[in-house]
Amino acid sequence: MNLLPDLFIQNCGQLLTVAGASQRPKILQGMDDLGIILNGAVAIKAGKIIDVGTTGQLEKKYNKKGVKVIDAMGNVVLPGFVDCHTHAVFGGDRTGEFVQRMQGVSYLEILKTGGGILSTVKNTRELTLEKLVEVSKKHLDTMLLHGTTTVEIKSGYGLDNKSELKILKAIQRLKKAHFMDIIPTFLGAHTIPFEYQSDPDAYVDFVCNILPEVKASAIFCDVFCDDGGFTIEQTEKILSTAKKLGFRLKIHINEFKDIGGVPLAIRLCATSADHLDNIKHRDIVKLKKRGIICVLLPGVPFFLMKENYAPGRKMVEEGLPIALATDFNPGTCPCENIQMIITLACLKLGMTSAQAINAVTINAAHAVGMADRIGSIEVGKQADIIILDIQDYNQLPYYFGTNHVKKVLKKGRLIVENKQLVDLR
């Protein structure tokens, strides 16, 4: 072997490579396969994975003299988590609404009386760009400490030209100021802002008109197409305009109500359809073989105290490619820890631990269009690798509510050690 590693991870009790699905997302039995190598090892050079095998195999191949060695000490090692759906850039929080909801007021009631998203819009508009970057960076740091090495972030708490551009600019600054890979999404159509309450279609026109200007700073365009959000016709207008401009598409559908979002996602060839808590069997069947990633967000019904969760297990059995994410946002899921989502996927969506882990790694990488670089531990990919404090991957959802991530490597660089950020940016 002539390529010499500069970093070597050894004694990985279970090395979950999640290999073999960089071209297409995992489905069916593939969702139960984590590509496990017992007592595994990974050789890394210049931030990229150059070899994967058992510790014995790799020790024979490489002379470790002068090479930095990380001993995983028999623990579980896997690709860094990809949080493929978040709204992580916002001002303030909504603790007050949480208290209201505990007293029985529903999320939609709060939204319809000017609270909810609109109260976060007010708080976000008030922040300077610098302050917005500062508060958002804290959220990203917490995510990183919990093993998330790539994050998709949506705009959508500005809802006017200046404020939406400020959020997208904040995301661009975070890209430079943070280790994580960040995928920006424009969600100008998050809700109808105060100024357009009497004329929602005029707001739809505003969103369509701003698309060329935001194109340079967002890869995806998304719309909240649901009860309390945008209609099918309004969503179609925005997303088809975005598609012509070269955006890739995401769509929030069936979170509160089924208003016909699935046929629209299919018509538009969206990259992902997100939420899907209220989905009928006929729509699950329609989604088959369409290649649309179904991004399930069980933290939302959990936090909103609702009983209708997306039928994750059934969707896996039907052959749909499933990804999972936090939906981190101040209203419906203020949870930065994607490990908690793995537990909810098992307990509330009926998924197995292996399915859930595939859903937050390689399939989530497909949902953000980065599966060629991240999401698995394979030769040629970025060394985005996390080392847990458990010896069996089933312990990840089992010991729930705590942080199992001991070490995080991003592009081969050790940035979390002993559950602390060590390389600050």
117 is in the binding site of which of ligand NIG, Fe ion, none (Cβ under 5 to 8 A by kind)?
Answer: ligand NIG
E strand residue ranges, 194-284: 220-225, 248-253, 272-275
Give the one residue of 25, 80, 116, 301 binding ligand NIG; rule: CB under 6 A.
Answer: 116
Count of beta carbons in the 10 Å neighbourhood of residue 63: 10
HEC per residue, 159-187: CCHHHHHHHHHHHHHHHHHCCCEEEEEEE
Stretch that binds ligand NIG, among 112-120, 158-166, 230-238, 375-383 (CB under 6 A): 112-120
Contact between 222 and Fe ion by CB under 5 A: the answer reads: no
Residues between 322 and 341 with contacts to ligand NIG, criterion CB under 6 A: 327, 329-332
Residues between 318 and 357 with contacts to Fe ion, criterion CB under 5 A: 327
Q: What does the alpha-carbon distance between residue 375 and residue 25 come to, in Å, rounded to a whole number?
A: 10
Least Å distance, CB 190 to ligand NIG, is: 6
Give Cβ neighbours of residue 22 (< 8 Å, ≥ 6 apart). 362, 371, 372, 375, 376, 378, 381
Three-class SS state of 415: strand
Half-sphere exposure of 282 (CA within 13 A, CB side): 4
Task: Report the residue number, 190 or 404, with the smaller CB distance to ligand NIG.
Answer: 190
Q: Which residue is nearest to ligand NIG (CB)?
A: 331
Contact between 294 and ligand NIG by CB under 6 A: the answer reads: no
Stretch that binds ligand NIG, among 3-11, 113-121, 314-322, 403-411 (CB under 6 A): 113-121
Task: Report the residue number, 77 or 324, with the smaller CB distance to ligand NIG.
Answer: 324
- For the chain, first and last CA: distance in Å? 35
Q: How many residues bind Fe ion (CB under 5 A)?
A: 1
Contact between 155 and ligand NIG by CB under 6 A: the answer reads: no
- Residue 322: its H or E element: strand 322-324
Q: How many residues bind ligand NIG (CB under 6 A)?
A: 13
Task: Report the residue number, 49 or 225, with the smaller CB distance to ligand NIG.
Answer: 225
Q: Which residue has tokens 């052959």?
A: 319
Give Cβ neighbours of residue 335 (< 8 Å, ≥ 6 apart). 299, 303, 326, 328, 341
**Between the CA of residue 295 and those of 126, 208, 289, 368, what are the distances in Å?**
31, 25, 16, 11
x/- contact string, 239-278, with ligand NIG (CB under 6 A)?
Answer: -------------x--x-----------------------
405 is in the binding site of which of ligand NIG, Fe ion, none (Cβ under 5 to 8 A by kind)?
Answer: none
Q: What does the alpha-carbon distance between residue 162 and residue 374 come to, in Å, rounded to a whole number?
A: 33
120 is in the binding site of which of Fe ion, ligand NIG, none (Cβ under 5 to 8 A by kind)?
Answer: ligand NIG
The pairing of strands 181-189 and 148-154 is parallel
Task: Report the residue number, 36 or 225, with the smaller CB distance to ligand NIG.
Answer: 225
**Between the CA of residue 262 and those of 141, 282, 291, 295, 411, what are the distances in Å?**
34, 10, 13, 13, 36
Least Å distance, CB 377 to ligand NIG, is: 30
Contact between 117 and ligand NIG by CB under 6 A: the answer reads: yes
Contact between 224 and ligand NIG by CB under 6 A: the answer reads: yes
Least Å distance, CB 138 to ligand NIG, is: 18
x/- contact string, 75-104, with ligand NIG (CB under 6 A)?
Answer: ------------x-----------------
Three-class SS state of 151: strand
330 is in the binding site of which of Fe ion, ligand NIG, none (Cβ under 5 to 8 A by kind)?
Answer: ligand NIG
**Between the CA of residue 298 and those of 104, 199, 219, 224, what are the distances in Å?**
21, 33, 25, 17
Least Å distance, CB 108 to ligand NIG, is: 10
Longest dimension (CA), the chain: 71
Least Å distance, CB 334 to ligand NIG, is: 9
Contact between 120 and ligand NIG by CB under 6 A: the answer reads: yes
332 is in the binding site of which of Fe ion, ligand NIG, none (Cβ under 5 to 8 A by kind)?
Answer: ligand NIG
Three-class SS state of 27: coil
Binding site for ligand NIG (CB under 6 A): 87, 116-117, 120, 224, 252, 255, 300, 327, 329-332
Binding site for Fe ion (CB under 5 A): 327
